[in-house]
Amino acid sequence: MTGLTESLSRFVAEFRALPGEAARIVKTGFIDTVATMVAGRDEPVVRIVRQFVAARKSAAREARVVLGAGMAASADAALINATAGHALDYDDVALGGHPSTVLVPAVLAEGEYLGARGADALRAYLVGYEVWAELFSR
């Protein structure tokens, strides 16, 4: 019997095809999350997280912060962007949480850093969502 970690690792490593209907749904997740990021970008909590990141004085400029000109380390950009996406509570709810607001900022930031293509970002979202769903069901 295969363990959960091994099973999920194999799924992630071997995932290739993005079914057409899944691609449409994933695109909606991206669009909705980007819209909530833009809407929440000036909220007080986002300013606090930006200050926290700035205080660490990282020189890394790997990914955009809330789709603007500002850059940060990809992990920091993902943190700020996820905070903006969730600040107004318009983000999606599924699987006991807010999957798109967790996945999209991380995928966008790391994808920008790695120079990933759009199709790669869509696949990364779907794989992340599927892993989340599997963990949630356990």
CATH superfamily of 19-137: 2-methylcitrate dehydratase PrpD (1.10.4100.10)
**70-118 pLDDT tens trace:** 999 999 999 999 999 999 877 666 766 678 999 999 999 999 999 999 8
How many angstroms separate the CA atoms of 22 and 2, rounded?
27
In angstroms, the CA 115 to CA 109 distance is: 10
Q: What is the pLDDT of residues 21-74, one digit of tens each?
A: 888 888 988 999 999 999 999 999 999 999 999 998 888 999 999 878 899 999
Domain coordinates of the chain in residue numbers?
19-137
pLDDT tens-digit series, residues 116-126: 998 889 999 99
